[in-house]
Structure 1
C-alpha cells in the first residue's frame, strides 16, 4: 500500500529552475500533496530534467512531477508512475512556457497563438472556462 509515510522514506529529486519559480501550485485546502511535498527536503536538486530522470531510472529516488511527464515517451521510458497516496490526484495536465528569448520572434508568436487556440477549443469542448476568463478569475498578468 502506498502511504505518505512510505513515500517520504525514499530520497527525492527536485527539478529546480529559475523559470519555474513563479509558477504556483494550486491545491485544495485539504490536499496533503502540497503539505507533504513541502516537508520533503530533496536529496538532489537539479535544473536539468535529463539528470533528474536519469537519477530516477538508476536508483530508488522518487521524482514528484505532473502526470504529463509520463505522457512523454522519451522521458517516461523505463519509469513507473505511482499513484499519489490516499487517492489524491494532480489535476494539472498541461503547462505552456514561453521563454523570453523568443518573445519577439514572429514564428514563435504565431505558434504560441495557434497553441492557445487549440487549448481554448479543448476547454470549450469539455465545458471548461476559456483561458481569458481564467486569467481574470485568478488575476493573472499574462
Structure 2
C-alpha cells in the first residue's frame, strides 16, 4: 500500500491507538457466485475527541464494467474494549458527498450490516499500524 510519510504520531491514551491514520485499501471480492466488485479507496481516520473518530473515504469502485466514485465521511464511536484488547466501535451516520455515486446495494455489500465493529490495532514499527478484525488484516496505515 502506498502510504504518505508522517514525521510523528500520538497515541490515544486510553486505548493505545493512533489519533490520525491514513492509507489506501485495494479490494476485490473473490466469491465466484457474486458479481465482481473491486476498487481502491484512500481512508483517513481522525480522532475528534476521546471516543469519536471521523473517517474519510475517497476512491473508485468497479462493478459490471462500470466505475463509481466513493466520496464519504462516516463516524465511529469507541464503545469499549474486549478481553483480548479489540476496540469496539459503533458505526454512526454516513454522509455522502456530492460526487459519491456508489449504488446503495454495492455500498451495503462493502460496508456490511453490523452496527458494532471489533478492530485490533497493532503497532508494526515507528508509525505504521495494522488494523485487523477477527479474520484478517483489514488495513495498514501511517499515523501522524
TM-score, normalising length from structure 1?
0.26
Instruction: Kindly indicate which of the two structures has a greater share of residues assigned to strand.
Output: 2
TM-score, normalising length from structure 2?
0.26
Instruction: Kindly indicate which of the two structures has a greater share of residues assigned to helix.
Output: 1
